[in-house]
Amino acid sequence: MMRILLFLGTNLAVLLVLGAVLSLLEPWMIEQGINVNQAGILIIAVVLGMGGALISLALSKTMAIRSTGAHVIKEPRNETEQWLLSTVKGQAERAGIGMPDVAIYDSADMNAFATGMSRNNALVAVSTGLLRGMRRGEVEAVLGHEVSHVANGDMVTLTLIQGVLNTLVILFARIIGQLIDRVVFRNERGHGIGYFVAVIVAQLVLGLLASMVVMAFSRRREFRADAGGAALAGTGNMTAALQRLGQQSEQADLPEAVEAFGISGGVGAGIKRLLMSHPPIDERIQALQERRSQEI
């Protein structure tokens, strides 16, 4: 489940910084006689919106490694590390992608994640808790799940979706700010305090709604990655791995910034479900079983 929150957290931070800079520049541009119309705002929104998403994607591997303290395996130090490298290499070859970096991070939580800028520049990491708590067939299925995320191009697709949503957030937040500034505060010249407050609030609210859209996309992609893990390691192993994940505590032992990037899911309802990056474990197991029965 670690793949999404790191991206969203970095992306939101970049978006807020760039949005604040834009808000400060707009009054100065008006004072200098530079006409900032809706077309100009749209162009700026596209540049900042897509730029924020691309920056987040470019930083994803570095941020994931630093936030989890992961050790990237360059030279295997033991048989387990050698097995991890050879397993990921074989799965990557079967999936038609370049060899990802492989890492281990220290955590009692059974989890794993994949991130990176492209299919041929990715990172697959597993926790020490997952290596201790699962048998190798199950670990192989988890690795296959993460390799499938890379092969499916989920991070790149997520970046495009997030970039479009960023653009809309920046654009509509400023339109809302102008309306409130002129209609509520009756400010006809430049931008008053009402504009800046309205833009900040609108950007936070619209950003939350945009996150719900991204999370809905993430939940759908998890089913596909589970199917990929089953294809690479066997449906039995993938199902057993999910069952094992369902037995551990619902609260993952991961830094908040990367919590949604891992394989383990949670249980949620109502508004909580809208913010979940993963479907509940039982739904994922049911989907695997239905897929297996159809194949038979």
Residue carrying the six token digits 């199950």: 138
CA atoms within 13 A on the CB side of 225: 32
Beta-carbon count within 10 A of 156 CB: 15
The answer to whether 149 touches 155, Cβ cutoff 8 Å, is yes
The answer to whether 170 touches 199, Cβ cutoff 8 Å, is no
240-245, Cβ contacts within 8 angstroms, sequence gap of 24 or more: 240/137, 240/138, 240/141, 241/134, 241/138, 241/139, 241/141, 241/142, 241/145, 242/281, 242/284, 242/285, 242/288, 243/281, 243/285, 244/110, 244/133, 244/134, 244/138, 245/110, 245/281
Q: Which parts of the chain are beta strand (E)? A: 71-72, 101-105, 112-118, 121-127
Number of H helices, E strands in the chain: 10, 4
Backbone angles phi, psi at 51, to 5 degrees: -65, -40
Residue 146 annotated among the catalytic residues of the structure: yes
Backbone angles phi, psi at 43, to 5 degrees: -65, -45
The answer to whether 200 touches 177, Cβ cutoff 8 Å, is no
Active-site residue, selected from the candidate residues 138, 140, 146, 259: 146
Q: What residues are annotated to the active site?
A: 146
